[in-house]
Structure 1
């Protein structure tokens, strides 16, 4: 009994001490550097935002979204609130220059945010940094006895990792565009910057192809995205600082391709869309020159639709059963196909690791095995690696349920940033 009493007393003493050591604000991800100050900036009907210096249209639209979000969050700001002159603004944004029209890996995303009782300043080298800083400001808004306020503080922030991605699998389960846009909003809120869009699977091919229309007409059950819809979604993501990397899985995970084009497969058809999960036998035929001509034309079309510098080609989980029934030359063809396809477009090929153990240096790899495998294999073959292992940060989603979306995005952000 005495021991229990002593433990309870220790807990009562240590808990307030631990609470004092915790950050006084709830931010996700935690900034690289945060220093609390005294006081707070009141958010009321007089709140306004101004842009000083570079006035990038993308930043202006970002400020409009910020004000709309703040209006919904507080429910008190005037409906006609707009950007104002920097000299009159309570939040002044200074972005040195705009980012490239098509976002690239490694762009400067840093920012600094200074908040005092008199106002706030958001300084950043780029528009991307300003967008991140505005999201941080939104998270800082708290309810007080008098209304709303932001604590006085100083933040200097930049990401730990240049690639902070969320994979969404629409091949196995089609996801409507409004749900994808909501996911992009959630990604922007926690500063994720890459949508890895898994667009083809045994269960469905989800992109309109004008060169090979039977891909989406026969391989999707009518559930696919038109090219105009894809362009709109890419633009929506770009406005929020998010790149969109497409994935078309090959040579396996490709049954939906063969429904309309059975001549691509290593065994005669006919083929049907798979209605269950698993690793299936069908795989593209690497012994036929027509396969490479098809892929060359298809990848060229898709590389024109998706402007990102990276293009994911899958390459995973080929069980080889169809290949075992064919020519022994498949091994040679399998290792030459990636280089040829890569040279046909402006994108960097990005396969899953298990499909590219002999990957050329033009490829970058997405690794989904253990952290130890990342270290050991990278030492043997130096190259950039995207860690897709769940404990290292990328949350994979293969369903379209709306419940749990926020939790998935937060899980990915917490692990990566």
Structure 2
């Protein structure tokens, strides 16, 4: 893939002369273009996402109706025009006919491809709107398509509204900063339908993203049909989920979780993506993450034993062996993959390949000696180089996760840097191309806010702001090395995204932040300005049927209790910092409601309804926060903290059952089942009541296994231990656990009467006993007062 660059655009005030040719900079547009920024004749600038390189607003508007002609000449121009018309119909109720003959007059909307003009690259475009006519032009169909997307975003009004639909007078010249603007979806852990994949591709295109990295194989599932090896999908495409999620409650029979894409479906998806100028990069993970393949063909494994497709998450130890027959198998697989995916790159993973099986195998060690390899890192390098030679011979390039640096990198390989940016820096210094995708900023399975309404995922947060502010080109690289940074990519791993609604929640609106990081020159990026434009983008999501997350637009409440005075201090906040308005009388807060400025001192019972606002409109439905004496005595698992010195691998996990319908969600530290209630008020408290659930411990930890700790059980099924003064403090109670939870999946435990205790203390709750194969998890803790709290 050739990386596009932002050219030094013409100075608009000097007559909009032709674009100057420019050398490609890996950083951003030239200072002249950056200084040009956005100028408007009057009113706010259009809410475009991603922000263009250059925008200058003029006077007036171009009115549209069903009678507005849309002209295009040639297949590429007509395709871009039809995309614009389709988007306009769905979002604004506007029905437009596209004339692809190129014979139209001078008025209306015209899409032109001028291959001889220098727009600054194949993905660059220009838009001119005045009250009489609209022109979108580019040198290549790719640029014209992105111009169509921008023109759609410029639309104002509604076909049924009094003012109709119009475009503001404007001049835009634009080109992307990076040529690799990617999004990765994991379809191996949880499967998405063809229609759902296409919906994501549509959304990617409207964000001007151009690489769909498709994770198709892993320990938990093989999702791509390989005709020569049908058991890869027949066996490797199915697993039995852990716990109740894998059992029919009526019969007790296993219920497999299956799914794969036929080659016909893959060709359809690849063609659909290409129509939207998106390249699909498939990932076939080697030499690790191999359990689904080995389950289908045990001879591919190191041990040769029959195993099942994995139904646990984490880092597994199953590897491919290094026999010649296995290399031939993988080459046969890749031969079919190459036929299905015409793009330049094939992703071969290379990540998290724990070498224990290779180290323990006499045959593998003998192969290492035969090959003259010093260690297992060199063996993985040999493995990757073997695969690379096969791909290069077929005109393709290998890309892999940054672990492929270990043991030596194949000469043509490209590195995807996920363990921070250090792997990318090292690869670029060695002369290899790099795509930056660090987990700390660009993993979308991390939760995006601290709202209790976030779905299952990794509670370590990657906020919208983190995605937006990530700088893909490290300052540590020299100028010539910076040119190796092809671009940037966000990844969504789907262990915890069981449904497509959850996929959308994790992806949007953070994909908008990624889009601007990938497209807009660094000097033009402005997070505060992005937040001004984000509400319009959320409106586009609603219009196009995208179930974007609303949690970033919620109003959260933090409360401090004054028990002696029977009052609370309620602090309101919006995760993105939008202004908050509230009411205290139960009415819906509108744009004239009181603007929140400082914590509210309220007597109990207290109730607040609040919403975040932008330009007089609520960004999400108002949230009601109510507090009384009884509610202040309860903490849920989301409200409790992790215990200190417990590894702190906190996850938000979904229960294993029921098979169908809603499931409970728990925040739990999987290395040590312990929860902390800081400064719980025990004055006047007679007892504690704890509601607990139980779920399978479905994690493979590989070399992190020693970090998994638990207190030895003293009774047959373990205990819940409650301590005051923190997790090293005095014992308050030890509550034996039953053999199994109640029929609803929970059990309620109550301590004996408590001795007099300090008014404030840190309460620690720990479950004893080995967490495998099942673990107890805390759902909520309640303080029971000497006298019942008033309603």
TM-score by length of 2: 0.47
The answer for the alignment partner of 2:196 in structure 1 is: 179
Structure 1 contact 165–193 (Cα < 8 Å) conserved:
yes
SS state at 2:213 partner: strand
The equivalent residue for 1:191 is 208
Equivalent residue for 2:616? Answer: none
Match of 1:374 in 2: 424
2:84 to 61, 66, 69: 66
| 1:307 and 2:342 matched | yes
Indicate the SS of the match to 1:263: helix
Residue 62 of structure 1 contacts residue 239 of structure 1 at CA under 8 Å; is this kept in 2?
A: no
Q: Which residue of 2 aligns with 1:14?
A: none
Kept in 1: contact 2:41–2:58 (CA 8 A): no
The equivalent of 2:352 in structure 1 is: 317
SS at match of 1:344: helix
1:264-303 → structure 2 map (5 Å cutoff): 264-286=300-322, 288-303=323-338
Shift of 1:414: 2.9
Q: Cα deviation per residue 1:252-283 (whole Å; 9 max; x = unaligned)?
A: 01100011111111123211111121001100
Greater relative contact order (Cα 8 A, min sep 6): structure 1 or 2? 1
- CA gap 1:315/1:305 in 2 versus in 1, 3 angstroms: same
- Give the C-alpha shift of residue 97 in structure 1: 4.5
In structure 2, the CA distance between the partners of 1:224 and 1:23, relative to structure 1 (3 Å rule), is: same
Q: Which structure: greater strand fraction?
A: 2
The aligned runs of 1:13-412 (5 Å cut-off) are 24-52=45-73, 55=74, 57-77=75-95, 82-83=99-100, 85-97=103-115, 108-143=122-157, 146-221=163-238, 222-286=258-322, 288-326=323-361, 327-328=364-365, 329=368, 330-345=376-391, 346=394, 347-357=396-406, 358-375=408-425, 377-378=426-427, 380-389=429-438, 390=442, 391=467, 392=470, 393-397=488-492, 398=494, 399=497, 400-402=499-501, 403-404=504-505, 405-412=507-514
Q: Residues 43, 223 of structure 1: CA spacing in aligned structure 2 closer, same or farther, 3 A cutoff? A: same
CA shift, 1:321, in A, is 1.2
Given that residues 270 and 279 in structure 2 are in contact (C-alpha distance below 8 angstroms), is that contact kept between their aligned partners in structure 1?
yes
Q: Using structure 1 for the length normalisation, give the TM-score.
A: 0.87
Shift of 1:245: 0.4
Which range is displaced more, 149-158 or 340-349?
Answer: 340-349
Distance in 1, Cα, partners of 2:193 & 2:309: 20
| In structure 2, C-alpha distance between the alignment counterparts of 1:291 and 1:76, rounded to whole Å | 56
C-alpha distance in structure 2 between counterparts of 1:409 and 1:160, whole Å: 16
Structure number with the higher helix fraction is 1
Distance 2:283 2:44 in 1: 39
Query: What residue in structure 2 maps to residue 4 of structure 1?
Result: none
Radius of gyration: which is bigger?
2
Please state whether the residue corresponding to 2:62 is helix, strand or coil: strand
Matched-pair contact (CA < 8 Å) for 2:114–2:140: yes
Mapped to 1, the partners of 2:315 and 2:348 lie a distance apart of: 17
- Cα RMSD, aligned residues only: 2.3
In the alignment, the residues of structure 2 paired with residue 156 and residue 30 of structure 1 have an alpha-carbon distance, to the nearest angstrom, of 11
Distance 1:23 1:294, change over 3 A: farther
- Which stretch of structure 1 is more off in the superposition, 201-210 or 67-76? 67-76
The Cα shift of 1:93 comes to: 1.4
- 1:318 and 1:68 map into 2 onto residues whose CA distance is 45
Shift in Å, 1:107: 6.8
Deviation at 1:22, TM superposition (A): 9.3
5+ long unaligned stretches in structure 2: 1-39, 239-257, 369-375, 443-466, 471-487, 520-791
Unaligned runs of 5+ in 1: 1-18, 99-105
Alpha-carbon shift at residue 65 of structure 1 (Å): 2.8
Distance 1:95 1:20 in 2: 29
